[in-house]
Structure 1
Amino acid sequence: MSAAAGKPQVLLQRFVMLSAGWHLFVFTTTGVWGSLYSPPQFAVEVAPTSVDVTLVEEIPSAPRQEPLLVPEPAQPDDLPQAKAPEPPKEVPGPVVSDPMKGAMAEAKPDYLRNPAPVYPREARRRGWEGLVTLKVEVTPEGIPSLVTVEQSSGHVILDETAAKTVRAWQFFPARLGNVPVASSVRVPVRFEFMDSHL
């Protein structure tokens, strides 16, 4: 590329720069620039406030003086008589709820999680059925501590199976107010065949 070919390009750049500078000078000095751009205008409406506060200057007042009263000398009849001291009044103490008072709730087996007894094979083979009533001593933790047969089914194998199963159960402990306590509960266990067995 020759030096002559590059010269017109340099001249063009200078011309554009000078033209831009000249226009900027003219716009800023003549105020044309200000007429071309104006910031947006906003209308602001003044609304009354919900609370008007008026400050009032406090006027200091003179200190108030009480008249000085001088008691008259007491006469013997006017002298106060000594009163017998009153006995102290009873002040009620704080109300304390005894956790051992309140409604007694009986222990209950957790039937949803406790397994049902398995029907003994020999009892099924012989067709034995019956109702066993067990007396269960339940600890405050809900654990059976003692299981005894209160009323037999008439078959020892059914009684023993029922007692063995209930010994593994978990109970909701009895409550006195909101405190779990030891208690005893009767648990009936029925062994009977359903229609499908017959």
Structure 2
Amino acid sequence: MFKGIFSNKLDTCGQMHSLEAVMASLIMVGVIVFAVEATSLTPLTSSTANAHIEAQLQTMGQDMLNVLSYTGLSHDSDLKDDVMNWDGIEYVWNGTAYDSRDSNNITLTNSSLAEMFEFIAIPRGIAHNVHFTWVSDDGVTITRPYIYNGDPSDNAVIVSKKVVLSENDIGNASIFMTNTGIPDADNSSGFYNIVNVKMTLWRM
């Protein structure tokens, strides 16, 4: 008699505990699903992806400048050659070549930076600007575009490399100054000026 009474009571308690366990499991699964769905929509994930892309662009841009800055025995670096061969013209990518912004009849040639962009950046859909910066006779920092492809996005990265120019590098300082606007910073020595090559990269 007593055995039957306690058995029914235990069965009822066991069923309640089982039901509670099932409900708790369903609630936990629901919370996990909600958390996963919410995470995939939060700005944090987008920011993390953007940060990864920016890190890749930063590394790629710095590697490009490092390669172009390599100086072989008795030879100037390709980056220095680009600065010395610059004629002061701003070039824009037209889809097939870098043309002068002012005249389509002038195309950028013999430029290692342009060749590097055509080989690496353009096939990957990476927009790019290059500016040359230097200090004028008055101590004012001057910046002029060398290659321009538009206004950078908010996720653009900037890398730079300094190029030291001597009077022997320039040759005719008067013509170089007229074409580029880069002055001789010290007439009393063989030092000419320092040009900072600033590269801006972003995904299109």
- Higher Rg of the two aligned structures: 1
Q: Which has the higher helix share?
A: 2
Give the TM-score, by structure 2 length: 0.21
Give the TM-score, by structure 1 length: 0.21
